Chain A
Amino acid sequence: MPSTAAAASPSGDDPLIVMEDVNKWYGAYHALRDVNLSVRRGEKIVLCGPSGSGKSTLIRCVNHLETIKTGRIIVDGVRLDDSTRSVDAVRSEVGMVFQNFNLFPHMTVLQNCTLAPMRVRGVTAAAAEATAKRYLERVRIAEHAHKYPAQLSGGQQQRVAIARALCMEPKVMLFDEPTSALDPEMVKEVLDTMVGLARDGMTMVCVTHEMGFARQVADRVIFMAEGQILEEAEPESFFRAPKHPRARSFLGEILAHH
């Protein structure tokens, strides 16, 4: 594995993701302002905040779906510059789950899961299928392996999307509002899958409004507004007594609807 920074030690203390003074603009719009964030191995982080606060943009920068203007992002010891080499190295270690699942509709569930390991890691078809079946089992959807995404419910599709990302055996999983596009009765099955993943020790960064999930698994809750990180706290103290007035009004609004 090519590494542009000092080789990471395998101990649990070195951060897996580091963002330093990250700034991003969309035209004149300042989407991320001086963002500093460090995610330890095994840590679970929940990012919340009003829409347009930059939380999705932030995690999309981690795997270079968005590019930053200034600052540094280091993932597993690899400094993300715009080089193909660093982008490849980072993407192969970072899994991502999207709001709209983004499964490949022309492929079966199994093919969705085996494509990247075969094309990126060069794994044989048989090995890729064995891995895929293991993860499909884990998200409890193995019986649908030969169906197409359109034949599955939203919750099932999102669990397949989680399995697809896991098949690359990533070091960290990014979740971009994974339950926002789901019917209410399907939210639980996806959250349960994510809780299971957290229990198994996966490093996770989740953009979500599911405060129950945040309470249950997050080591830290990060509150963002207008592209800035305004508050970082353990879930208990964040929900009991948010310090920043913006966080207080945000929590008041979302809890009023629950």
Chain B
Amino acid sequence: MGTTFGLGELGFLIQGLKWTVLLAAIAFVGGGIGGLGVALARTSTSRALRRITGGYIAVFQGTPLLMQLFVIYYGLGLIGLTLPAWVAVAIAFTLHASAFLGEIWRGSIEALPKGQFEAAKALGLHYVPRMRDVILPQALRIALPATIGFLVQLIKGTSLAAIVGFIELARAGQIVSNQTYEPLLVFSVVGAIYFALCWPLSLYGMRVESRIARAAAR
């Protein structure tokens, strides 16, 4: 005996959607800050910093996000840190996003002509103003399409938080599907919601990319 898919069920999905958006937002903001630090460390003159962050990136790019969630969620518990599920998940996503965004931004910093660094140095600009005023504004602009692409991945990746019992959009869909016995309908709705969230972002990313290409061709 199940219920039919109605407004109440849709509302339940929307509750899940709220968590999906919130998780993605936390991961993106946290990953943005962490990723900036990682990118700067990866391009620094300190060999130790480059190696440590290089190892960190290798681990997070080389293992499944699902496993990272598991290890951090249960790992934090094992070392006696009992955090709310969403905090543990947010930490895992932030670490994940920091590694990927750090690597994207490292690439764009290194893609800038050497002359930009040299001109800034020759003018006497120190590291902080050199990076903040000259290098990063250019590097982040080049990296914008890839950054948006990663954000889309991240939004869809939040569905994996279901594995530690988190009721985000995908998990909410599964629950509703089990109640209504209408998996095709329910997952179509869930898919449509993901699409409505991600597609405009992808579209925006493509437009930014062609704008940068046009500017470069000028």
Contacts and interface: CB of A to CB of B under 8 A. Distances in A.
A159 interface: no
B125 A120 contact: yes
B81 interface: no
B124 interface: yes
Interface residues of A, number: 25
B196 interface: no
Interface stretch (B46-54, B57-65, B131-139): B131-139
Interface string A95-106: 110101011111
A104 B124 contact: no
Contacts of A91: 121-124
A203 interface: no
Contacts of A64: 121
A88 B124 contact: yes
Given A106-B138, A115-B133, A119-B133, A100 B115 contact: yes
Given A104-B116, A104-B134, A119-B129, A165 B141 contact: no
A102 to B, nearest CB: 4
A116 B123 contact: yes
A251 to B, nearest CB: 30
Contacts of B129: 115, 119-120
Interface of A: 63-65, 88, 91-92, 94-96, 98, 100, 102-106, 115-116, 119-120, 150, 161, 164-165, 168
Interface of B: 113, 115-116, 118-126, 129, 133-134, 137-138, 141, 215, 218
17 contacts: A65-B122, A91-B123, A92-B124, A94-B122, A96-B122, A98-B115, A100-B115, A104-B119, A104-B134, A104-B138, A106-B137, A106-B141, A116-B123, A120-B124, A150-B215, A161-B119, A168-B123
